[in-house]
DNA sequence: GTTTAACCGAGACGGTACGTCGTGTCTTTCG
DNA sequence: CGAAAGACACGACGTACCGTCTCGGTTAAAC
């Protein structure tokens, strides 16, 4: 932390080697087949160098897969539906690879629900900022009367894609992203029941 | 299998004890903390009695948590939106309990993606029949021009609920089910962009 | 322990394989170079089977090297000196092999002094019975006025041989056993100072 | 080495702190429980300062325990037996402390037998000079016809004391040193079987 | 007075053994 | 043959230690 703490500093190449080896082995063997010893061997380092950085295997995997994930800036396509279409494609690109289901599942199982929630929230905030931008644009454009809760849209978009790909294992059928974008955009613009959901913009309890 | 096979028949109380002990221990220690030996000890039986019934720990957990789950008949509320509201509450009741995220995650991590998909499909088929019924009613009622793919609606509804509760850990905020039902119903009735997949990226004026 | 306790009984071939592999690897690599994993691999068993029997590596080595060591019956050569000569040769045969110094040293270092003393006492009792027999014969023969403490003779004989071979590393010079036997026999028969050491036959304090 | 080599000279307080910390921790935790890092921490120095002086942990321990041990000049008591009695007490003072068994054992286990022998020989030479002096005096005094091999007497005296205290863990019974001195002195003066090694196995009439 | 080279504390590094634990199979005795 | 008990082979886990190396910084002798 402190820039001038005593002792030999951590070798940044070791950090990178750990994360890289973790990603490679996750792709090769999956989450259940991943061992810390194999990561160390692949990275050409000792196990202690890993445990000096991450207390458990789960933390290491989380760092290797989630940390530093970048959400690109959304292009302004001119319509909410097309923006959401881009978002669906982006999310699919991030979590669509085979094996990601296992990784995310393993993290879900190994960390306590509260721990994973804490860890996820940081990551989720990035995506939500992007989503908020999309929703604000649509509001400014006049498509939406008021910006909905980005967390709500996030859960729907991410959840639907994850469930289809990794829970039901149904592959990335071509029209799925289209349907999803059309349905969510349409539903946000014309919610059934006509209830004006005013003021749920930031309600995220607990 | 055969009703009159030779030898001593399986003790049905053992079957029940295994499933019950599995559920209790899942609640106590979570999926990652669950061991077959602990289930056997809790059930007052031997490990062999478990492995005679289930080939792996995963099968046992699947049987204890998923198998036999009943999806109740949907009441005909008179509107798609209200039917989906009921569906959201039902799904929340089934997968909303704390720990379910860990169980599903663990299954996802331990089985290969394809295996979990196969196992899930049987379970999913039940829910999809229910969803199909809801969609057919809405079509007959005239709310929808044609019944959409139940698998699509299933992924959106289940995925959104699962993501909110177990991935982001945001609890069951009161309005969430309402918003979800309104948005999905509205989106199915009025998909943005007119008819599905007839060109996207083009601005549709608000 | 109990002949009819429940569960699968220990496999005696595993016991034997552990001890045999331990001895082989001690001879090959020495005490410091011995690993539990290597013993397991050599014996064709798992590590758990070893730790089910011995709590630590040291216990295993002790069992493999000390336990069940047999002290042969001493031939009645007709003189104390010749009997002690035989004893010196026997002890040399038991502890003279290269590597025994390391094994005994390792046990000395790893066990607490009190633990090794306890463990050793059981083994020492066997040798002491033999020594007591030799001394009793000499007394009956009239060579000695009263039988000295076997523990004293044991310490002198074993200690001298161990020190020469393993502490000073001076090899088994031919005449050493002769000199040792002559000196100890002579000293017991004619102790300098002429003090009649009456009644130190069994004094072994705490 | 060279008195005027360039660079900062070694800090002599560091030398002393290493040896002192080693001795303290040996007494506290024993040889097996001693770690180089703990010695460094206790001495308030870095590990590198230790390894700059000693190539291995064993060398450090050897230096801390054996090196510089002084064998005092033997008082001329006027009899071989009394001289050996003094020698026994002196050796007991040097190796009698609890923990010495573990230290010597550990060195025996970690160094190869030949290495420890080499290291020991330097130390042993000091004691042997003292023993040679005692034996020469006895010869001059007429107690012995010819001076025996000091190495032989060394092995017997040291070995017996070490075995009693550290192998059998029998404590320093009061009369033990007396018995040892009387027996060895008597045996050197009156070796059984007449002259050394002129046939054994033949009965020598009492 | 610089320069220079070895020193110093601190602690990260690669490597390796430890003892524990979990999985799924096998082997007993008993009912 | 089923069941309870528990031993079996295998192998990953996280901890600890060794001996080496790398920091930033200090200290005396050599220039």
Query: Which residues in chain A have their CB less than 8 angstroms from residue B103's CB?
Result: 109
Model pLDDT, residue B124: 86
What's the whole-number average pLDDT of chain D? Answer: 87
pLDDT at position A100 is 87
Torsion of CA D83, D84, D90, D91, to 10 degrees: 160
Question: Domains of chain D by range and CATH?
Answer: 12-65 (1.10.10.60), 80-189 (no CATH)
Residue of B109, B153, B157, B178 to mutate for A, most A C-beta atoms under 10 A: B109
pLDDT of residue A3: 55
Residue B96: exposure state from Cβ atoms within 10 A (0-12, 13-18, ≥19) = middle
> Looking at beta carbons, which pairs linking B68-71 to residues 24 or more positions away fall under 8 Å?
B69/B94, B69/B123, B69/B126, B70/B126, B71/B126, B71/B127, B71/B129, B71/B130
Mean pLDDT to the nearest integer, D81-104: 92
Q: Say how far C14 CA is from F9 C1', in Å.
A: 12
Q: How many alpha carbons fall within 13 Å on the CB side of residue B94? A: 22
- Show the 3-state SS of chain D: CCCCCCCCCCCHHHHHHHHHHHHHHHHHHCCCCCCHHHHHHHHCCCHHHHHCCCCCHHHHHHHHHCCCCCCCCCCCCCCHHHHHHHHHHHHHHHHCCCCHHHHHHHHHHHCCHHHHHHHHHHHHHHHHHHHHHHHHHHHHHCCCCCCCCHHHHHHHHHHHHHHHHHHCCCCCCHHHHHHHHHHHHHHHHCCCCCCCCCCCCCCCCC
Residues 55-74 of chain A with CB under 7 A from strand F are: 55-57
Distance (Å, whole) CA A39 – CA A56: 13
Q: What pLDDT is recorded for position A117?
A: 72
Average pLDDT over residues D104-111: 88
Cβ D48 to strand F below 7 Å: yes
Alpha carbons A34 and A25: distance in angstroms, whole number: 6
Task: List B residues 156-195 in contact with A (Cβ-Cβ < 8 A).
Answer: 156, 158-164, 166-171, 173, 175-176, 178-193
Phi, psi of D63 (to 5 degrees): -65, -40
Residue D197, pLDDT > 50, answer no
Touching subunits for chain D (3+ Cβ pairs under 8 A): C
Which pLDDT value is given to residue D194? 57
The model's pLDDT over B182-206, given as tens digits with 9 standing for 90+, comes to 999 999 999 997 544 434 333 333 3
pLDDT tens digits along B57-72 = 999 999 998 877 778 8
Q: For strand F, give the nucleotides within 7 A of a protein CB.
A: 1-30
Q: What is the pLDDT of residues C107-164, one digit of tens each?
A: 888 877 777 777 778 888 888 999 999 999 999 999 999 999 999 999 999 999 999 9
- Residues 49-78, chain C: which have Cβ within 8 Å of D? 77-78
The beta-carbon contacts of B68-76 under 8 Å, at least 24 apart in sequence, are: B69/B94, B69/B123, B69/B126, B70/B126, B71/B126, B71/B127, B71/B129, B71/B130, B73/B130, B74/B130, B74/B133, B74/B134, B76/B137
Decide which of A198 and C177 is more confident.
C177
The pLDDT assigned to B12 comes to: 82
- Show residues of chain C in contact with D202, CB under 8 Å: 78-79, 82
Q: How confident is the model at residue D54 (pLDDT cuts 50, 70, 90)?
A: very high
Q: Which residue has the tokens 């592959």?
A: A171
Percent of chain C with pLDDT over 90: 64
What mean pLDDT, rounded, does chain B reach? 86
**Average pLDDT, 10 consecutive residues per value, chain A (206 residues):** 75 96 94 95 97 94 84 92 96 88 88 73 86 96 94 96 91 86 96 58 33
- Picking from D112, D117, D192, the nearest residue to C168 by CB comes out as D117
Residue B24 contacts A, CB cutoff 8 Å: no
Rg, chain C, Cα only: 20
Instruction: Please indicate whether residue B47 or residue B100 has the higher confidence score (pLDDT).
Output: B47
Q: What are the CA-CA distances from residue A48 to residues A38, A56, B69, C53, C191 (Å)?
A: 13, 12, 45, 30, 62
CA D137, CA D124: separation in Å to the nearest integer? 20
B107-139 pLDDT, tens digit each: 888 877 777 778 788 888 888 999 999 999 999
Asked whether the predicted pLDDT for residue D13 surpasses 50, the reply is yes
Mutate to test the interface with D, among C151, C169, C175 (most CBs of D within 10 A): C169
Whole-number pLDDT of residue D124: 86
Distance from CA of C102 to the nearest CA of D (A): 4
Which residue has better confidence, B157 or D122? Answer: B157
Among protein residues, the one whose C-alpha sits closest to the C1' atom of E29 is C6
Question: Is the pLDDT reported for residue D144 higher than 90?
Answer: yes
Distance measured from the CA of protein residue D21 to the C1' of nucleotide E5, in angstroms = 29
B1 touches strand F (CB under 7 A): no
Q: Which two tokens stand for residue A97?
A: 């690879």
Q: Does A31 touch chain B (CB under 8 A)?
A: yes
In the prediction, which pLDDT does D199 show? 40
pLDDT at A2: 54
Cβ neighbours around D179 below 10 Å, total: 25
- Per-residue pLDDT tens digits for D123-138: 888 889 999 999 999 9
Mean pLDDT over D140-167 rounds to 95
């Amino acid at each position: 932390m402190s820039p001038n703490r005593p002792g030999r500093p951590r070798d940044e190449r070791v950090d990178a080697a750990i994360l890289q080896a973790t990603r490679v082995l996750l792709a090769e063997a999956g989450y259940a087949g991943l061992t810390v010893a194999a990561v160390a061997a692949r990275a050409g380092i000792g196990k202690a160098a890993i445990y000096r950085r991450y207390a458990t295997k789960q933390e290491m995997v989380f760092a290797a897969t989630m940390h530093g994930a970048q959400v690109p800036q959304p292009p302004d396509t001119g319509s909410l539906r097309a923006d959401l279409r881009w978002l669906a494609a982006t999310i699919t690109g991030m979590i669509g690879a085979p094996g990601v289901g296992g990784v995310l599942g393993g993290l879900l199982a190994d960390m306590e629900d509260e721990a994973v929630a804490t860890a996820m929230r940081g990551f989720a905030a990035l995506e939500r900022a992007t989503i908020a931008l999309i929703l604000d644009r649509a509001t400014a454009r006049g498509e939406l009367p008021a910006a909905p809760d980005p967390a709500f849209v996030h859960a729907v978009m991410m959840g639907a894609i994850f469930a289809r790909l990794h829970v039901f294992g149904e592959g990335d059928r071509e029209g799925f992203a289209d349907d999803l974008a059309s349905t969510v955009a349409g539903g946000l613009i014309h919610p059934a029941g006509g209830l004006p959901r005013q003021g749920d913009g930031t309600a995220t309890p607990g």
